[in-house]
Amino acid sequence: MLIVKMLFGSHLYGTSTPASDKDFKGVSLPTWEQVALGRIPKHAENTSTGQAHSKNTAQDVDTEIFGLHEFVKLACEGQTVAMDMLHAPADMLIYATPLWSEIQGHKAKFYSKNIHSFIGYAMGQAAKYGVKGSRLNDAKAVLDWLESQPEAAKLADCNLGTFPDGEHIRLIESVDPLKQNQYDVCGKKIQLTSRVQYAHDIVSHFYKNYGERARQAARDEGVDWKAISHAFRAAYQMRELFITGSITFPRPEVKLLTDIKTGSLKYLDVAPMLEDIIDEVKALKDRCGFPEQPDRGFWDSFVLRVVEEYIIPSLRKTEG
């Protein structure tokens, strides 16, 4: 039984162009057999008319229908796709049942401070292209320190009191006495038992690759503008959710998002904007009134009730 089917993607966000494909999402109930046998699929349907290794055209259609159990799981995790679906307006709904109205009516019970996939995606894009250059600066500081130490020495035998501090440098102390403490340098883990030369090779490789990507971005080369526009949209949606408790579609920032998506802006202008909105969302997350965790008990009870009211009666009708 289909619960809802909606138009999704750029058509929902308001950023569609004549070349945009059609993207549909939905939620469906499992069958009694699937429930009874413990074989509830994540998807009732997951199809695309496009080619696997080429970009979709305006004629292509992608359809993804989640099973109810999977959708509730994704929404409790704060996954972007589920949050977007929960806030889809009526004019985007192709088909909807009272069950979907009930789910949307209780969408706040999915909210928590751990809705991290929105901001996590935005932060990932910012980190990928070197926003603010702080990661490069921290990596360079560690390289300089390593080059001042004996190559064959272990990090633990060096004067770690002089090891650089930075936003992207931290010591991870193990709670397991059998495991070693380690440094995290720009996401690269280095155990204190490592030799200086080994640590230098790891950080140097990161510095060269990351630095080149950041330099290319500064020249507006090699930037995945579509991904950057998604990062902005995710951050703006999260800001609105923390402030108002809801998300608006189409997005009020549609012109900015479209300009970014089409590469109409300079990356050096865009990068600080992304960093600023991320910083704002982080601050709002700490101040918002959302609970630490979603109301999983409510949604467990909801799924049980739906199985009892919709799936078991369908079995009885079949038997009758």
Domain of residue 37, CATH code: 3.30.460
Question: What's phi and psi for 184, nearest 5 deg?
Answer: -110, 115
pLDDT of 137 reads 82
On the question of pLDDT at 319 being above 80, the answer is no
How much is the average pLDDT of 111-129? 74
How much is the average pLDDT of 198-223? 82
The single residue listed with the structure tokens 């999915």 is 110
Residue 271 belongs to some domain of the structure: no
- 94 and 167, same domain (yes or no): no
- 90 and 163, same domain (yes or no): no
**Do residues 229 and 257 make contact, with C-beta atoms less than 8 angstroms apart?**
yes
What percent of the chain has pLDDT above 90? 60
On the question of pLDDT at 54 being above 80, the answer is no
Q: Average pLDDT, whole number, for the chain?
A: 89
The CA-based dihedral angle spanning residues 291, 292, 296, 302, taken in that order and rounded to the nearest 10 degrees: 20
Is the alpha carbon torsion for 49, 54, 56, 57 positive or negative?
negative
- 10 and 101, same domain (yes or no): yes
- 102 and 15, same domain (yes or no): yes
The count of residues in the chain is: 320
- 36 and 100, same domain (yes or no): yes
pLDDT of 202 reads 96
Cα(70)–Cα(42) distance, integer angstroms: 5
Look at residue 170 and give its three-state secondary structure: strand
**What pTM does this model have?**
0.74
Residue 249 belongs to some domain of the structure: no
Comparing 119-133, 230-244, 291-305, the range with the smallest average pLDDT is 119-133
Under the banding of pLDDT at 50, 70 and 90, the label for residue 227 is: confident
Residue 47 belongs to some domain of the structure: yes
Residue 236 belongs to some domain of the structure: no
Under the banding of pLDDT at 50, 70 and 90, the label for residue 52 is: low
Give the side-chain half-sphere CA count within 13 A for 6: 28
Q: Which of 89-93's residues contact partners 24+ apart within 8 Å by CB, and which partners?
A: 89/249, 92/6, 92/7, 92/8, 92/11, 92/12, 92/249, 93/4, 93/5, 93/6
Structural domain span for residue 167: 133-218
Of the three residues 218, 234, 251, the one that is the final residue of a domain is 218
Is the alpha carbon torsion for 238, 105, 82, 74 positive or negative?
positive
Angle value at C-alpha 306, between 305 and 309, nearest 5 degrees: 85
Cα(21)–Cα(242) distance, integer angstroms: 31
Residue 244 belongs to some domain of the structure: no
Pairing of strands 61-67, 22-28: parallel
Residue 228 belongs to some domain of the structure: no
User: CB within 8 A of 75, min separation 6: which ones?
Assistant: 82, 83, 86, 107, 110, 294, 299
**Most confident range, picked from 53-62, 212-221, 288-297:** 288-297
Under the banding of pLDDT at 50, 70 and 90, the label for residue 123 is: confident
Q: What are 135-178's pLDDT values in tens digits?
A: 778 899 999 999 999 999 999 999 999 999 988 898 988 777 77
Q: Which amino acid is at 207?
A: Y
User: CB within 8 A of 222, min separation 6: which ones?
Assistant: 213, 216
Under the banding of pLDDT at 50, 70 and 90, the label for residue 183 is: very high
- 214 and 182, same domain (yes or no): yes
Is the alpha carbon torsion for 190, 196, 201, 203 positive or negative?
positive
On the question of pLDDT at 221 being above 70, the answer is yes
Class of residue 292 by CB neighbours under 10 A (exposed 0-12, middle 13-18, buried 19+) = exposed
- 93 and 138, same domain (yes or no): no
Residue 165 belongs to some domain of the structure: yes
Q: Which residue did the predictor score with more confidence, 259 or 113? A: 259
How much is the average pLDDT of 72-98? 96
pLDDT of 248 reads 98
pLDDT of 131 reads 54
Largest Cα separation within the chain, whole Å, is 82
Class of residue 318 by CB neighbours under 10 A (exposed 0-12, middle 13-18, buried 19+) = exposed
- 103 and 154, same domain (yes or no): no
Starting at the earlier edge strand, list the strands of the sheet with 61-67. Answer: 43-48, 61-67, 22-28, 2-7, 93-96
Residue 11 belongs to some domain of the structure: yes
Cα(2)–Cα(96) distance, integer angstroms: 8
On the question of pLDDT at 27 being above 80, the answer is yes
Of the three residues 218, 248, 268, the one that is the final residue of a domain is 218
pLDDT of 53 reads 59
**Do residues 233 and 277 make contact, with C-beta atoms less than 8 angstroms apart?**
no
- 9 and 92, same domain (yes or no): yes
Of the three residues 218, 246, 273, the one that is the final residue of a domain is 218
Q: Which residue did the predictor score with more confidence, 240 or 124? A: 240
pLDDT of 317 reads 57
Q: How many domains does the chain have?
A: 2
How far from each other are the two terminal CA atoms of the chain, in whole angstroms?
19
- 97 and 2, same domain (yes or no): yes
On the question of pLDDT at 132 being above 70, the answer is no
pLDDT of 126 reads 67
Distances (CA, A) of 9 to 30, 118, 171, 296: 25, 15, 41, 27
- 90 and 28, same domain (yes or no): yes
- 7 and 75, same domain (yes or no): yes
